Amino acid sequence: MKFSDLSLYLKKLEDTSSRLEITRLLSELFKVSDKKEIEKTVYLILGSLGPSYRNIVFNIAERMMIQILADAYKKDKEKVKEMYKKEGDLGSLAEMFSENRVGLLTVSEVYDFLLDIADEKGEKSQERKIKKTSLLLSKLDPLSSRYVARIFVGKLRLGFSDRTIIDALSWMEKGDKSLSKKLEKAYFVLPDVGGLAKAVKEKGIEGSVKDISPSIGVPVLPMLAQRLKSPKEMIEKMGTVSIEPKFDGLRIQIHFRSGKGGFIMAFTRNMNETSWMFPELKKIEKQILADEVILDTEAVGVDEKRKSLVNFQSTMTRRRKHDIERIAGKVSIKFYAFDVLYKNGKSLMNESYLQRREILEDIIKNGDVLKVVENRISDDFIVIEKEMKRELSEGLEGIIVKRANSRYVPGRTGWRWVKMKEGEKAKAKLADTLDCVVMGYYRGRGKRAEFGLGGFLVGVLDKGKFTSLTKIGTGLTDLQFRELKKRLSELESKTKPKEYGKVEKNLIPDVWVQPSLVVEIAADEITVSPTHSSGYALRFPRLVKLRDDKSKDQATTKKEIVRLFELYVNNLQLSGR
């Protein structure tokens, strides 16, 4: 397929806000895509060059792209900069400058060109990137230039994600979404939607999802915990359970292979590979009694002076790539392993929790870096209550309760794992925190005007759209206000992003931002709201922390909000309010 033909589809996708119509258009595109090219097509329409865990980036900032446009189209750089301030879209400028050029490159040729540019490293790589990018743009027609320029600066954003691609693949074969669940299960184990599209094109849906198994080096989407109102209900729904401590740490999936060609990789919940954050991982080989494993762990910071666990924010100081060894000296990391998904070529995901636990204890030798989480097996809700009190008294967040006979199922489904946090003690308070996406911000007045941010609007997921839940303007330090403004400035959008549902007029932020930044929010109460499009609102909401380890698709859902509201109302009744 010519890239110019793909660009016509991109234009149609950009011009529609209907998720159903987007799905139909994508299915039409996939039908006409060659099986040798569909994988690259899927990556490109998502504005990427591969699955997120491969972390292929261009490192081309807007300032550098202005220079590229000036070079490619023989324009004055200052004039391009001036036009960009007015236009606000580098893609539109590239389209304007391309004039009547004809694009003859295929999808594969453009993809390979882009990959070559992303692979540029080392001395004078920036100059080579500018030269190659300018050359590519000079070979494209106007519409193709628009989308390629946006891909370079990470602003293609057509309003859909991997989940919509999965729906479109089902639509391509069946004319509806009836096969999406099968595809989604395969995607959760091997989260490469481009590779999945290629498999569907070659083998059909049934063939592509058959015998899916974890692969060392490819992160499995994590199994997540539900919420239940009481230990008694947990036992009623789950039967015999394992009770484990809930740490205030960073969920890390460790992939380990020993021997020649061996490696250690560490993936966060949003599938970013972060082994560089943890020099301690170099020591774990002596603690693992297996050739290759995939472990589910919690990375928790330890204050070496006090010999005590530290909070999430302290652990996350590791995300600074420079001077990591010095930071590691101040806050070391322990990895608490609580599950094993794969061992020596065999998937363990369909084994029961107790079987996986037995294997986990057999393959890990507890030591300074890696340790198996302690647990207690019981079918008595009083034991759950006692364990909860004990963990809280030791300064932990609470407990995780796991059904003893459950398989490892990615996502938050069924009553397999349940979390119970400190908020449960305060019967009239909201029982848990929420992971929300920042939708936009308000500039603020008085002192906050100097930060450029006085508050922000957050939303939750509801059927593929983000719907508003609450405005937040408290609970932030001056430093947090400045950091949040800096982060949000990089995500600003001149118009409301297509991924957002209706936002009431009096809630519209001064500046919209693209859905990307996830924040953890605490609140005292949850209420029904006629104003917020989620149908709910929070009273006394406050920022707990930024969740760089989570992606927008892992935000709290409307369904979870409904469940939290039910728990809150139940707690009110128990407290007699």
What is the per-residue pLDDT across 235-266, written as a single tens digit (0 to 9) for each? 999 999 999 999 888 999 999 999 888 999 99
pLDDT at 573 over 70: no
d(CA 194, CA 38): 7
| Residue 160, phi then psi, degrees to nearest 5 | -140, 165
Lowest mean pLDDT among 426-440, 478-492, 522-536: 426-440
pLDDT at 380 over 80: yes
| Whole-number Å distance between alpha carbons of 552 and 543 | 17
The confidence band for 44, taking pLDDT boundaries of 50, 70 and 90, is: very high
- Distance, in Å, from the CA atom of 285 to the CA atom of 249, rounded to the nearest integer, reads 22
> Which CATH homologous superfamily contains domain 226-425?
DNA ligase/mRNA capping enzyme (3.30.470.30)
Query: Worst-scoring range by mean pLDDT, 72-81, 354-363, 413-422?
Result: 413-422
Q: What is the dihedral of CA 185, 187, 193, 197, to 10 degrees?
A: -50
This prediction has a pTM of: 0.86
Mean predicted confidence (pLDDT) in 417-434? 69
Q: Return the H-helix or E-strand segment holding 402.
A: strand 398-403
Least confident of 85-99, 107-121, 366-380: 85-99
In this prediction, residue 134 carries a pLDDT of 92
Q: What mean pLDDT comes out for the span 543-561? A: 91
Tens-digit pLDDT profile for residues 391-415: 988 888 889 999 999 999 998 777 8
Q: Range with the lowest mean pLDDT among 143-147, 212-216, 424-428? A: 424-428
Distance, in Å, from the CA atom of 235 to the CA atom of 237, rounded to the nearest integer, reads 5
Residue 280 has pLDDT above 70, yes or no: yes
Check residue 445 and give its pLDDT.
Answer: 75
- Mean pLDDT, residues 165-194: 95
Q: What is the DSSP string of 397-439?
A: -EEEEEETT----SBS-TTSEEEEEGGGGSTTS-SS-EEEEEE
- Span 101-121, average pLDDT: 93
* Average confidence (pLDDT) over 165-183: 95
Q: In this predicted structure, what is the pLDDT of residue 314?
A: 64
Q: How far is CA 313 from CA 218, 318, 323, 422, 520, in A?
A: 27, 9, 17, 18, 12
* Residue 474 pLDDT class (50, 70, 90 cuts): confident
* Percent with pLDDT over 90 in the chain: 66
Alpha-carbon gap, residue 353 to 50, rounded angstroms:
33
Check whether 427 has a pLDDT greater than 50: no
| Residue count (the chain) | 577
Q: Calculate mean pLDDT across residues 145-158.
A: 91
**What's the pLDDT score for residue 230?**
86
Distance of CA 265 to the CA centre of its chain: 18
Lowest-confidence range among 42-46, 225-229, 328-332?
328-332
Tokens 């939290």 -> residue: 564
Q: What percent of the chain has pLDDT over 70?
A: 92
Report the chain's mean pLDDT, rounded to a whole number: 90
The pLDDT value given to residue 451: 80
Closest CA to 273 of 198, 312, 219: 219
**Closest to 219 (Cα-Cα) out of 520, 546, 551, 519:** 551
Q: How far apart are CA 503 and CA 505, in angstroms?
A: 6
In degrees rounded to 5, what are phi and psi of residue 297? Answer: -140, 170
Q: How confident is the model at residue 137 (pLDDT cuts 50, 70, 90)?
A: very high
Q: Which residues pair with 201 in a beta bridge?
A: none
Whether 304 shows a pLDDT value over 80: the answer reads no
Residues 6+ positions from 253 with CB-CB distance below 8 Å: 219, 220, 222, 266, 267, 294, 295, 296, 297, 341
| Confidence band of 574 (pLDDT split at 50, 70, 90) | low
pLDDT band (50, 70, 90) for residue 563: confident
Q: How far apart are CA 523 and CA 529, in angstroms?
A: 15
Sign of CA dihedral 314, 318, 319, 322: positive
- Least confident window among 93-97, 112-116, 296-300, 320-324: 320-324
β 417-421/226-227 pair status: parallel
pLDDT at 472: 93
- Give the model's confidence band at 424: pLDDT under 50 very low, under 70 low, under 90 confident, else very high: very low
Rounded Cα gap, residues 290 and 287, in angstroms: 9
State the Cα angle at 199 between 198 and 203, rounded to 5°: 125
Domain ranges of the chain: 226-425, 434-575
In this predicted structure, which of 43-57, 109-123, 411-425, 509-523 has the lowest mean pLDDT?
411-425
Instruction: Give the mean pLDDT of 430-437.
Output: 86
pLDDT recorded at residue 426: 43
Mean pLDDT, rounded, for 7-12 = 97
pLDDT of residue 462 exceeding 50, the answer is yes
Residue 246 appears among annotated catalytic residues: yes
Token pair 């292979």: residue: 257
Could you say which of 246, 334, 402, 485 is catalytic? 246
pLDDT at 423 over 60: no
- For 208, residues 6+ apart whose C-beta sits below 8 A from its C-beta are 183, 186, 196, 199, 200, 202
User: Which class in CATH covers the domain with range 434-575?
Assistant: mainly beta
For residue 311, pLDDT over 90 is answered with no
Q: Which two tokens stand for residue 502?
A: 């209706």
Higher local confidence (pLDDT), 30 or 153:
30
Q: Average pLDDT of 526-542?
A: 93
> Whole-angstrom Cα distance, residue 111 to residue 106?
9
pLDDT digits (tens, 9 = 90+) for 200-222: 999 999 999 988 999 999 999 99
Q: With bands split at pLDDT 50, 70 and 90, how would you rate the model's confidence at 572?
A: low
Residue 36, SS3 per DSSP: coil
